Amino acid sequence: MRFLAIPLTLAALCLAGAAQAPAGEGPDRLPFPSKISIHSAELHFSGRVMSPVYRPCRARRRVVLLQIVEGGPDRALGRTRTDGRGRWSVRVSGFAGISLARFYALVRPGRERLAHLPILCSPARSRAIGLGG
């Protein structure tokens, strides 16, 4: 009985996502939300991508670490992909002013499949942190 609950839950999520699909996404992709966290320990940044759809929207997602630049476009410091559990990490090299800078992470949208249904994993942005945040 317990094994039946997982497919039924996924089917309910898919139907709920289809009912809430924005006009621009169309009925061909079921949208699912994503969240991304960020932490730092010196020059090593890490975090996790979370989603109610475990595997497709967490594993192998593209993540970009950015530095906030006042008065200009934010600067990409590193890119990576999440592991099977949604974890990511980027190590940056030191440069002048990094201790005063603020950083955030972006996870790109993902187009995946769940039980042969096409789904859209939403993009997400983390909170902004300083070093050691």
Mean pLDDT of 50-66: 90
Q: Which helix (H) or strand (E) holds 5?
A: helix 2-19
State the Cα–Cα distance between residues 98 and 67, nearest whole angstrom: 9
**Single-letter code of the amino acid located at 123:** P
The pLDDT of residue 73 is 96
The pLDDT of residue 37 is 98
pLDDT interval class at 71 (50, 70, 90): very high
Residue 64 has pLDDT above 80, yes or no: yes
Q: Which helix (H) or strand (E) holds 19?
A: helix 2-19
- Please, what CATH class does the domain formed by 2-125 belong to? mainly beta
Between 122 and 52, name the one with better pLDDT: 122
Strands (DSSP E) found in the chain: 30-32, 35-36, 39-41, 44-50, 62-67, 75-81, 87-91, 103-107, 110-114, 117-121, 124-125
The pLDDT of residue 106 is 98
The pLDDT of residue 29 is 75
Of 66, 56, 64, 65, nearest in space to 110 by CA: 56
The pLDDT of residue 50 is 96
